[in-house]
Amino acid sequence: MAPTLSRRRLLRAGPGLAGALVLAGSATAAPVPAPRATTAPRPAAPEPSATPSAPAPVRPLRHPIHTLRDYRRVLPGPAFPADAVALTIDDGPHPVWTPKILRLLDKHHVPALFCMIGNQVLGHEAVARSVVRDGHQVANHTWSHPTEMAGRPAARMRRELHRAQEKIYDTTGYAPALFRSPGGDWSPGLLRAAARARMVPLDWSEDPRDWSRPGVAAITRRLLSARPGEILLCHDGGGDRSQTYAALRTVIPALAARGLRFVALDHRHP
């Protein structure tokens, strides 16, 4: 690696370069509850554009993306390495766990996709900006993380997507082109809403259910079963994520030792 090529430039360069980086280990921390912001942002327009230069609505998919193979089939770009996996991190930003996970990723030169909740960005703007500043990607994970999102009225779906998109973009300058439904709850109506909002629906291949705090060993064991081509799910928000953080300290170098490479999910609006 040329000495003038920074880590951030490597991450932004896409899977070919970011995936080639090698990994190593990190530290621990005491959990602190995340304050929920109460200040209401300005209401979003009924159908705002993500950015002035956003493309036309995408074609609705029948199913969300689950694997890197699905991803590249839907979103053209350089082929992912055969030994690639992608790390995605949901429900933040969190004032304690997001910075700790960012430092861990930085230590191991691992790119990740952070699926952000709009009302968690509210009040934690500096943390959200640090994710983008460190070269990571961002996805839209709704405004308020409602359960059973797929069954909500169409107007509620639109509000959840557009309000989160507006807050993420106003805060970070990053207009997500990927959308993840809370809990992986999908319906034809929600897939259409994502397409109208100019976002591609994204799921995952491997879920360690770390949000339920099953224990460090359980999370670690599930993530270590990852295979090439999979999209891994973890969480930095929604409560005490000390178990997730401890598991990732083991999992990241262990997967690297097996020859797996972490790649960036590189699609974003211009």
Q: What is this structure's pTM?
A: 0.80
In a domain, 34, yes or no: no
Q: Which pLDDT value is given to residue 6?
A: 36
Looking at the chain, list the stretches that DSSP marks H as alpha helix, in order from N- to C-terminal side: 7-12, 15-18, 68-74, 97-108, 118-121, 125-133, 154-172, 188-196, 216-224, 242-257
In a domain, 236, yes or no: yes
CATH number for position 258: 3.20.20.370
Alpha-carbon span 6 to 4, nearest angstrom: 6
Q: Which pLDDT value is given to residue 57?
A: 56
In a domain, 43, yes or no: no
Q: What is the pLDDT of residues 90-140, one digit of tens each?
A: 999 999 999 999 999 999 999 999 999 999 999 999 999 999 999 999 999
In a domain, 102, yes or no: yes
Confidence of residue 268 (pLDDT cuts 50, 70, 90): low
Phi, psi of 138 (to 5 degrees): -135, 140
CB 140 within 8 A of CB 44: no
129: containing domain: 7-20+58-262
In a domain, 29, yes or no: no
Q: Into how many domains does the chain fold?
A: 1
Alpha-carbon span 41 to 167, nearest angstrom: 8
Q: DSSP E strands: which ranges in 93-179?
A: 113-116, 137-140, 178-179
In a domain, 134, yes or no: yes
Q: Which residues are catalytic?
A: 90, 235
In a domain, 31, yes or no: no
CB 256 within 8 A of CB 222: no
Kind plus residue range of the DSSP H or E element containing 262: strand 261-262
In a domain, 110, yes or no: yes
